[in-house]
Amino acid sequence: MRSSLLRAEYRRTWWTEKIVKGVLFGMALISVLTTVGIVFVLLRETISFFLQVSPAQFFLDTRWTPLFASKRFGIWPLVNGTFLVTLVALVVALPLGLLAAIFMSEYAGTTLRRWLKPVLEILAGIPTVVYGYFALTFITPLLQRIFPQTQVFNALSAGLAMGFMILPLVASLSEDAFSAVPYSLREAAYSLGATRLEVATQVVLPAAFSGVTAAFILAFSRAVGETMIVAIAAGQQPKLTLNVLESIETMTAYIVQVSLGDTPHQSIAYLTIFAVGMMLFLITLTLNIISHFVAQKVREVYQ
């Protein structure tokens, strides 16, 4: 009697273990399904798009006017806008972020660092609409005072705000790369009589090179995918230009523009946002993969 009860209890536990493990595995699979879902949704609508618009037009035309009466579907103006803003953002974020990281890892003492890190974390935690507001209501008027020909919506203002938004990312990832450099390397250089600057730029920076590069590429990817700042401050005029004071449109801002209107399901405008989204997904995915492999290199060296 006793032993059969025990056996029942035992069997119940055994089943619980099996079921729990299965359920947890299912939860782990959700992340895989998310990726599958993204690829599936983007692919399905992109294929419908290309059934109506030839890939040749998409990649060769130089005009993007899917919402006008005379529709043109050349992706390059949007890509141009995206990379223009990204370039401005990186010009701000990369040098400043790298300098900040060097300062925190090679110069600042523990107390100072304990104060500086949270500030950068706050900067990173501010919602992007806030940066958009700041770009439109503060940076743009400032720019207009310096360059009178600045348009109300322009790439420069959005790019600058975006630069300060991704600065903390560059700083914290680069700092991680610096702190992965073993102390013995620095000590060896110091013992040879190198100054702090020489240690930082000629020993630590080269040793952390792949980590810093990975951080830069990740920042690039983040800038390309950033949406709200450009939707608020960069405008809605897709064009091929290198003038940062003009109004442009990025891929992300275009998706927002269409989403705000009431586009009927399966209309060509509805399909364009998936084609543009696919382009965006492929660009960021490529950058993320490159960043991943570059970062992997540093780990192999110092293990």
Positions 2 through 31 that interact with another protein (CB under 8 A): 13, 16-17, 20-21, 23-31
- 294 touching another protein, by CB under 8 A: no
Of the pair 8, 122, the CB lying nearest another protein is at 122
Q: How many residues does the chain have?
A: 303
Please report whether residue 134 would count as binding another protein according to CB under 8 A. yes
> Shortest gap between Cβ of 155 and another protein (angstroms)?
18
Task: State which of residues 87, 194, 245, 290 lies at the interface with another protein (CB under 8 A).
Answer: 194
Q: Which residue has the tokens 């992706």?
A: 75
Q: CB-wise, 243 or 281, nearer to another protein?
A: 281
Is residue 255 at the binding interface for another protein, with CB under 8 A as the rule? yes
Scanning 49-57, 58-66, 77-85, 93-101 for contacts with another protein by CB under 8 A, the matching segment is 93-101
Binding segment (CB under 8 A) for another protein, from list 40-48, 56-64, 73-81, 237-245? 40-48
Applying CB under 8 A, the span of 37-45, 58-66, 69-77, 241-249 interacting with another protein comes to 37-45
**Residue 190 makes contact with another protein by CB under 8 A:** no
Asked if 174 interacts with another protein (CB under 8 A), we say no
Residue located via tokens 């950068």? 120
Region of 266 on the Ramachandran plot (φ > 0 left; ψ -120 to 50 alpha; else beta): left
Whose Cβ is closer to another protein: residue 244's or residue 283's? 283
By CB under 8 A, residue 264 contacts another protein: no
Task: Using the minimum distance from each CB to another protein, give the nearer residue, 15 or 60.
Answer: 15
User: According to the binding rule CB under 8 A, does residue 47 interact with another protein?
Assistant: no
Torsion of CA 80, 85, 89, 91, to 10 degrees: 60
> Of 78, 166, 169, 207, which one interacts with another protein (CB under 8 A)?
207
CA distance 142 to 262: 35
Q: Does 168 bind another protein (CB under 8 A)?
A: yes
| 211 is an interface residue for another protein by CB under 8 A | no
Residue 273 binds another protein, judged by CB under 8 A: yes
Query: Which one, 197 or 242, has the nearer CB to another protein?
Result: 197
The correct pick among 180, 240, 288, 290 for binding another protein (CB under 8 A) is 288
